[in-house]
Structure 1
C-alpha cells in the first residue's frame, strides 16, 4: 500500500514539474510566428538539441519494448534499438544538409512545393498514422507499468499522460518540448541505472545471467526474410519522421545538426543497454520463488516485464525511481510526436490547402487544437492495441513503404519526379501493403508471398521491403514516362496535364499561340494608327488565345506603340 500511495504522489509531482518546466520554457518565445512556435526560432543549441533528440528516440516503446523482446525472443530479435539508432545516421547523410539549406519547416514542405497542397495533404496521412501509433505505443507502455507497479487503472494513466503532454506542448510549443526533454532524459538515466544493480542482486535471479546463452536467441533459417524485412523497416522507416527533422531544422547551424545526429546515434545505442539487461535478468529469474509473486511468467506477459522487474525485484524506493524513468520516457516521446503531426497539419494542410493568408494568431490556435486531437487519437490507440513492441514496428510500416521513397526522390531527384509518379507510387505501395495483410489489425493476407506460413498467418518473405521497392520503382517509371510524353509533345500539356505537373510546357504552348495570333494581327494591318493599338491588339489577341498572358500582350502593345510613335516623330522631323 505504501508504494501505491507514495508512487501516486510521486507521479503527480512529476507531472506537475513537467508542466511547470513547459510553462517556463514557453516564456522564451519571442513571438507567435510559425518558426518560433514550431522550431524555437531555429535557435536550439547543440547540448539541448542532443538531449531532446535522444529523449525523443528513447521513448516508452524503446525502453519497454527492448526489455520485452529480450525476455521473449532474445538479442537476435532485438532490432528496435539498433534499427532506429542507425536511422539517425542515415537521415543525416541523406537529408540534413539539403533540407536545412532549403530552410524547410516540416519534412512535407519539399513535397508540397513540388506536387501542390492537395497531394501534400495526401502524404500527410502516413506521417500522421506513424505519429499516432508511436504515441499510442509509448502511452501503452506507461499504462501497463502503472497497472503493475501502482495498481492504477491503465485508462487513467494513459489519459492523464496524454492530457499533460498536450497541455505543456500547447503552452510553449517547441521550446516547452525541448526543455522538458532535458529534464526527462536525466530522469530516464537515473531511474534505469539505479534499477539495474538492485534487480540483478535479487535472490531469485540466477547469478550466471551473462554466462548463460539463453538470452541470445536465434533466427531460424525460415525466418531470415522476416528478420531482414523488420530491420530494414526500422532503419529506413525511422528516417521520414517530423520529430527528427523538427530538431534538425531547429538547430542554429547545419554543422551542429550533423554533429547532433552522430552523437545521438551513440547516445541511443547506449540507452538501450539498461532495459536490455533488465530483460535478461527477467529471463534468468525463478519467478515462482519471488516473494509476493510466486508464479511463472509467460511470454504473453512480455509487454509488462519491465514493470514486473521494477515492482518485484527491486526495493520500493528504487521501483519508484524506475517508474519515474518510464514516465519520463513516455512524456518525452509523446510530446514530440504530438507536436510534429500538429505542425504538419497546421502548416501543410490547413494553411497550404485552405487558408494561405492565415495570420500567426489563427495558426497558433489551429496548432493548439491539432495538439489536442492528435493526443486523443494516440490515447485511443494505446487503449485498443496490445503489444508495445508490435506498435513500435507498426508505426514505421506505412512510413517505410510510402513516405521514404517520396522523400528520397524529392530531395535527390527533384527535377526528374512529378505528381503522376508521386500518386502512382503512393497508391501502389499502399495497395500492395494492405493486400499483404496485418494479422493483429484483422487484415487478412490477400497476396500470399513466397514462404507464407499458413499456420501462423505470417509473411516470411520480406514483402514490406518489396512493397517499398515497388513504390520507388513506380515513382521513377511513371514520372519518366509522363515527362517523355509531355515534353516530346506526344501528349499536349494544355489538354491532358490534369495534375498541372508541367506548367512550363503550358506556358510555352501559350506563348506559341500568342506569337501566331500576333503575326496574324500584324499582317491584317491592325497597327494603323497609334490610338487603336492598345485596344485592338489586346482584344484581338485575347480573342485568339484567351485571357492568359494578357500582361505579355500589353507589354508587346506598348513596345509597338512606342515604335510607331518614334516613326511618326521621325517622319515629322
Structure 2
C-alpha cells in the first residue's frame, strides 16, 4: 500500500486549522492579560477564571478522550482475554467526573487555588509539594508518550506514513500552540477537536456495519462457545481483584490529575465548576461508545475478505492497532481518513492538557515560590513555556517505546491513584491531616508500590500477593494490591497525623521539635479557611462570558 496522498492532505489541513485556532486563542489570552494586570501567569494557567460552561465542558471532556482512550478501549474489547467487561473506560470517566464534581470541585474552586498543588503548599510546605510534583510530572510525560504512540501507530497503518514522522509533527503542532496560547489555546482548540472526534467516529460505524467483511459470528481464533458474543468477555473469580484494581485506577486515579483541576479552577464560580464536571462526565461516556462498537465489530470481521488477510490482528500481535486496522480495511478509504483525523484530534486535545498541567505546577509551585520568589509575570510565562517544551520533548522521546498503549495508559494513572489521590483527598477534605502523616503515608505508598513490581517496566515483584501467577516468565499480581496500598496510605495519613497532633498538643513532644512547622501551618490554614469571603469572591452567579 502506497502513501495515501489525499489522506495526508486532509490531515495537513486539519493540523493547519488547529494551529491557526491556537494562534487566534493566544490573541484572546493577551486581551484577557491586559484586564488582569499583575496576574498574567494565572491567565495562562487558569484562563483568568473566565471560562464559560460550554467551553469548560468541551475542554474537560477532550482531555480524557485521547488517542490512548480511543485505541485502548477498542484494543480491550477486541482482545480475547478481556472483552467489553474489561473496557471500563467510558464508565470510569463518568465516575471520575461525578466524584470530582461532588467532592472536590467546590472546595478547590472556592479557595481560588491556581493548581492542584496549592493546598499541599499551604498546609504542608515546599518540601512535600515538590515530592507530590514528581509523580505528577512522570504521569504527564507517560500520558504524552502513550497518546503520541497511539497516533503514530494509526497514521502508519492508514496513511502508510512513518510513525516517527507523524509523532514528531503532531507533537510540534501541539507544543507550538500550547506554548503561546496557554489555557485559552487549549480550550479553543479542544472545541474543534472534540467536535471532530464525535462526528467522525460515529460516522464510521454505519459503514462498518454495512461492510460485507463483517459477519454475524466471530471469525477470530478466540471465539468462545458461550451464549454471549465473544466480545462481551468475562471476569473470572480469580481475575476479580485485578478487574477491581484497574477500574478504580482509571476512575479514581484521574481525580489527582492537574489537567482536571485546571478546568475546575478556570470556572468563574464553584457552582459552574460542579456543573462542568457533571456535564463532562455524561459527554465522555457517550464519546467512549464508538470505540467499544468498533472493537466488537472487529471480532466479527472476516479479515480474509479484506486486503489485510489472515491471520487476524490478534494472532499477529496487532490487537493494539485494531481500531486503525478496522477503519483502514473495513470502511471506504475516505472514511478511514476521517478516522485518522478523529484520533489526531483526540491526541492533540489530550497532549496539550498534559503539557500545560506540568508547566503550570512547576512554575506556580516550585519556581515562583522557591527558586525565584521575585520573578516577574513575564518571566513566569517564559518558565511555563520552557516547561511545556521540555515535557513535550520527554514524552515524544518515550512515544517510540513499543509497550502496549493500554499498559502505558494504566501505568500513568497508577502513579496518580497509589501516590497522589490519597494525599489529595486528605489535604482537601480532612482538616486534621498534617505534614508528618502525609510524609509517612507518601513513603509507605511509594515503598509498597515499588516492592509490588511492574511488568510494563520489567520490574519483578518482591511482595507476592495472594493469587499471583507467572505468565510467559513474567509474574503478574491478580490481587487488588493497588487499592490495598491506597487504603493503607489513607489510614497512615489519618493515624500518624492524629498521633503527632496528640503528642504535640499534650506536650508529650516539645513544640520546639516541630521541625516541619506543621502545626503552625495548620493553624494558619484554618484561619485562612474561616476568613469571611468578600463579595468579589462569592460564587453565586453562573458566568457565561469567554
Same fold (TM over 0.5): yes
Computed over aligned residues only, the root mean square deviation of the Cα atoms, in angstroms, reads 1.8
- 2:313 alignment partner in structure 1: 297
CA contact (8 A) 2:252 2:417 kept: yes
Find the aligned partners of 2:313 and 2:422 in 1 and give their Cα distance: 42
**Residue aligned with 1:238, SS:** helix
How far has the Cα of 1:84 moved from its partner? 2.5
- Which runs of structure 1 show a deviation greater than 4 angstroms over 4 or more consecutive aligned residues? 504-507
* Alpha-carbon distance between aligned partners in 2 of 1:7 and 1:505, rounded to the nearest angstrom: 58
> Is residue 160 from structure 1 mapped to residue 169 from structure 2 by the alignment?
yes
User: Which string of whole-angstrom CA distances, capped at 9 and with x for unpartnered residues, describes residues 251-292 of structure 1?
Assistant: 122222211111111111111111111101111011122135
2:504–2:511 Cα contact (<8 Å) kept: yes
Is 1:264 aligned to residue 280 of structure 2? yes
Distance in 2 (alpha carbons) for counterparts of 1:155 and 1:293: 26
Give the Å deviation of 1:142.
0.2
Name the counterpart of 2:517: 500
Deviation at 1:6, TM superposition (A): 1.4
Does residue 112 (structure 1) correspond to residue 112 (structure 2)? The answer is no
TM-score w.r.t. the length of structure 2 is 0.89
- 2:61 matches 1:61: no
Identify if the C-alpha distance between structure 1 residues 497 and 282 changes in structure 2 by more than 3 Å, giving closer, same or farther. Answer: same
5 Å-filtered alignment, 1:379-418, equals 379-414=396-431, 416-418=432-434
Counterpart-to-counterpart distance in 2, 1:191 and 1:332: 15
Give 1:558's aligned residue.
none
Residue 329 of structure 1 and its aligned partner are, at CA, apart by 0.4
In structure 2, what is the equivalent of residue 35 of structure 1? 42
Q: How does 1:238-317 map to 2 (within 5 A)?
A: 238-298=254-314, 300-317=317-334
Query: Does structure 1 conserve the Cα–Cα contact (< 8 Å) formed by 2:76 and 2:86?
Result: yes
The question of 1:475 aligning with 2:482 is answered: no
Following the alignment from structure 1 to structure 2, what is the Cα–Cα distance between the partners of residues 37 and 142?
27
* Alignment partners' CA distance in 2, 1:372 and 1:366: 10
Say which structure, 1 or 2, has more relative contact order (CA 8 Å, 6+ apart).
Answer: 2
Number of residues of Structure 1 aligned to a counterpart in Structure 2: 504
**Is the counterpart of residue 136 in structure 1 residue 145 in structure 2?**
yes
CA distance in 1 between counterparts of 2:207 and 2:3 reads 17
| Residue of structure 2 aligned with 1:174, choices 164, 173, 183 | 183
Q: Using the TM superposition, give the Cα deviation of residue 37 of structure 1 relative to its aligned residue in structure 2, in angstroms.
A: 1.0
- Quote the offset at 1:505 in angstroms: 11
Query: Are the aligned partners of 2:123 and 2:522 in contact in 1 as well (CA < 8 Å)?
Result: no
Matches within 5 A, 1:2-151: 4-29=4-29, 30-31=32-33, 33-72=40-79, 73-151=82-160
Cα 1:491–1:47 shift into 2, 3 Å: same
- 3-state SS of 2:233 partner: coil
Once the 2 structures are TM-superposed, how far is the Cα of residue 200 of structure 1 from its aligned partner?
1.8
User: Does the CA-based 8 Å contact 1:293-1:312 persist in structure 2?
Assistant: no
Q: C-alpha separation between the residues in 2 aligned to 1:293 and 1:208?
A: 17
1:505–1:18 Cα change, 3 Å: closer
Q: Distance in 1 between matches of 2:76 and 2:255?
A: 22
> What is the correspondence of 1:369-388 to structure 2 with a 5 Å cutoff?
369-388=386-405
Distance in 2 between residues matched to 1:212 and 1:196, nearest whole Å: 22
Taking the aligned partners of 1:292 and 1:254, their CA distance within structure 2 comes to: 52
Deviates more, 1:126-135 or 1:106-115: 126-135
Task: Specify the alignment match of 1:560 in structure 2.
Answer: none
CA contact (8 A) 2:90 2:289 kept: no
Partner of 1:319: 336
2:196 counterpart residue number: 187
| Pairs within 5 Å for 1:416-565 | 416-455=432-471, 456-494=474-512, 496-503=513-520
Query: Quick check: 2:110–2:269 contact (8 Å CA) kept in 1?
Result: no
Asked if the contact 1:87–1:236 (Cα under 8 Å) also holds between the matched residues in 2, the reply is yes
Q: Quote how far apart the aligned CAs of 1:493 are.
A: 2.1
Whole-Å separation in 1 of the counterparts to 2:77 and 2:417 = 24
Maintained 8 Å contact 2:44/2:184 = yes
Q: CA deviation at 1:502?
A: 2.8
Query: CA, structure 1 residues 264+306, in 2 after alignment: closer, same or farther (shift >3 Å)?
Result: same
Pairwise CA distance, 1:327: 0.3
Match of 1:566 in 2: none
Partner in structure 1 of residue 251 of structure 2: 235
> Is the contact made by 2:3 and 2:160 (CA closer than 8 Å) also made in structure 1?
no
CA distance in structure 2 between the partners assigned to 1:421 and 1:163 by the alignment: 42
TM-score (norm 1): 0.85
Contact 2:190 2:349 (C-alpha < 8 Å) held by counterparts: yes
Q: Deviations over 1:515-553 (max 9, x none)?
A: xxxxxxxxxxxxxxxxxxxxxxxxxxxxxxxxxxxxxxx
- The SS at the match of 1:457 is strand
**Larger deviation: 294-303 or 19-28?**
294-303
Match of 1:553 in 2: none
List runs of 5+ in structure 1 lacking aligned partners: 508-573
CA distance in 1, matches of 2:240, 2:523: 51
Change (3 A) 1:505 1:235: closer
Distance 1:505 1:442, change over 3 A: closer
Name the CA distance, whole Å, in 2 between partners of 1:98 and 1:89.
15
Task: Give, in whole Å, the separation in 1 of the partners of 2:217 and 2:199.
Answer: 25
Query: Structure 1 CA distance, aligned partners of 2:521 and 2:346?
Result: 50
Conservation of the 8 A alpha-carbon contact between 1:493 and 1:506: no
The separation in 2 between residues aligned to 1:283 and 1:503, in whole angstroms, is 61
Aligned to 1:518: none
Q: Paired residue for 1:555?
A: none
- Please give the alpha-carbon distance, in whole angstroms, between the structure 1 residues aligned to 2:522 and 2:43: 39
Q: Give the superposition deviation at 1:410.
A: 0.8
